[in-house]
Amino acid sequence: MSLKDAMPVEKGRLSWFSPNWVLLLLSTIALGAFFGLETASVAPNRIVSGTGYLVFSALGWQGALLGMVLILALIGFSCIAECQEYRDAYKAMLVIVMALLALMPFALMVATSRLVDSDLPQARLGIGAGFWVTLFVLLLALVELRTRLALARIWSWSLLLPIGLLWWLCLSLWLEPLALMREYHSRSEQFSEAFRQHLELVGTAVGVSLMLGMGLALLMRRYPRSQKAAFAILNFLQTIPSLALFGLLLAPLAWLAANLPLAASLGISGIGWAPALVALVAYSLLPMVRNTFIALEEVSPAVIDAAYGMGMDTRQVFLQVRLPLALPVMLEGVRITTVQAIGLTTVAALIGAGGFGTFVFQGLGQAAMDMVLLGALPILLMASVADALLGAVSDFLRPGGAK
């Protein structure tokens, strides 16, 4: 008799415990943050520091109990997620995570009604660390669930669309005392201008780097000896800190503006959009060139030979065979470049290029974290949307990918 057969009771007692350790850890962190960190804070005005409140004070025992039950359900399902007898555990966890994300703006509404005194018109509700940590952990859990359920990227992100609309509706109509919304309302015109500047810089940088990257990749394929030197230069550009690169560009661009009337008429100067655009393109070239070069090189030689065998010339083979097959990997380079450019454009605000970085650095200078969030959250949202859309297009174009 084997040792396994000799211990039926122990086997039966432990057979249900087959956890997904990632989700178990994330759920435990969410429970600790939900109860152990401040859910919200209230300040009488913008200058005075707020007073923090834990979940029972902010949401009452009903809200705290509901959140506890849902998070404990996540912990329970994560303990049996890998067990074959509970194959729908991941689906149940997905429903719970989506429910928690949908309930969070209503939790802010409850906290507002309980904590903000209507007799103090300048009072504002700040979002506490417990709320942010719980939200971040739930989003990480959503990524893990998407992987486990093998959901196509476009479908998994589309699940967040109705929740995003619900958040927008709550923030626009019923959360006016929220400190973040008060910062937005007092700077709505600046916010729109910053969004335009940020979008223009990112779009121009990605477009220019796409054209330059494509050209460099084609030249490197035509002249193989140049590959080593080209990649060495592009790797070197990546090692230069962004602030240092902006500083290095100040003098030559200022000289161009002073000595070339055409450059001055175009608005080129040592500060502003010009050094920001040059720096963004320099940082964007490596992922763009590398993905384009590898994508073109990795097309199967058998497919190319078959195309030539069908009577295609070199131009037709490139446009009709090599380029379409390489396009999904090339789009991955565009995705990486776009997400990177969205983040780096934040730093460009330090040299007068505008964008959402203006709010970030103004908020840091004034020790106003809500203003920092007013700049940081749109950047995070832009990067997430760009990553989701470009990733979905890449999956769609990939042979055998999501349709």
Residue 4 belongs to some domain of the structure: no
Token pair 């040299």 is at which residue?
351
With beta carbons less than 8 A apart as the criterion, state whether 169 and 102 touch. Answer: no
By CB neighbour count within 10 A (0-12 exposed, 13-18 middle, 19+ buried), where does 279 fall?
Answer: buried
With beta carbons less than 8 A apart as the criterion, state whether 308 and 177 touch. Answer: no
Q: Which residues of the chain have pLDDT under 70?
A: 1-15, 153-154, 156, 399-403
Residue 100 belongs to some domain of the structure: yes
pLDDT of residue 389: 86
Residue 3 belongs to some domain of the structure: no
d(CA 360, CA 356): 7
Residue 276 belongs to some domain of the structure: yes
Do 173 and 237 lie in one domain? The reply is no
Do 211 and 149 lie in one domain? The reply is no
With beta carbons less than 8 A apart as the criterion, state whether 106 and 163 touch. Answer: no
Provide CB contacts within 8 A for 57, sequence distance 6+.
39, 114, 115
Do 149 and 194 lie in one domain? The reply is no
With beta carbons less than 8 A apart as the criterion, state whether 307 and 324 touch. Answer: no
d(CA 51, CA 40): 8
Nearest to 17 by CA among 100, 85, 70, 67: 85
What residues form DSSP beta bridges with 57?
none
Nearest to 345 by CA among 254, 281, 392: 281
Q: Which CATH number does the domain housing residue 223 bear? A: 1.10.3720.10
pLDDT of residue 26: 95
Do 69 and 25 lie in one domain? The reply is yes
Residue 1 belongs to some domain of the structure: no
Domain count, the chain: 2
The β-bridge relationship of strands 51-53 and 40-43 is: antiparallel
- Residue at a domain's end among 185, 202, 220: 185
pLDDT of residue 206: 93
User: Residue 374: which domain range?
Assistant: 188-397
With beta carbons less than 8 A apart as the criterion, state whether 60 and 114 touch. Answer: yes
Residue 353 belongs to some domain of the structure: yes
Nearest to 370 by CA among 186, 197, 195, 193: 186
With beta carbons less than 8 A apart as the criterion, state whether 298 and 326 touch. Answer: yes
- Residue at a domain's end among 163, 185, 207: 185
Q: Which helix (H) or strand (E) holds 42?
A: strand 40-43
With beta carbons less than 8 A apart as the criterion, state whether 284 and 206 touch. Answer: yes
d(CA 79, CA 42): 37
Give the model confidence (pLDDT) of 352-393 as tens digits: 888 999 999 999 888 788 899 999 999 999 998 898 888 888
Do 171 and 253 lie in one domain? The reply is no
pLDDT of residue 15: 61
Residue 10 belongs to some domain of the structure: no
Q: Helix or strand or coil: residue 126? A: strand
Do 292 and 229 lie in one domain? The reply is yes
d(CA 236, CA 221): 21
The two structure tokens encoding residue 15: 């057979």
The two structure tokens encoding residue 247: 């500083």
Give the model confidence (pLDDT) of 307-352 as tens digits: 888 888 888 888 888 888 889 889 988 999 999 999 999 998 888 8
Do 284 and 318 lie in one domain? The reply is yes
Do 158 and 196 lie in one domain? The reply is no
The two structure tokens encoding residue 358: 């203006």
- Residue at a domain's end among 170, 185, 200: 185
Cα distance from N-terminal residue to C-terminal residue, the chain: 52
pLDDT of residue 402: 53
For residue 165, give the amino acid letter: L
Lay out the sheet containing 51-53: strands in order across.
51-53, 40-43, 124-127
Nearest to 383 by CA among 209, 202, 240: 202
The two structure tokens encoding residue 321: 């065979």
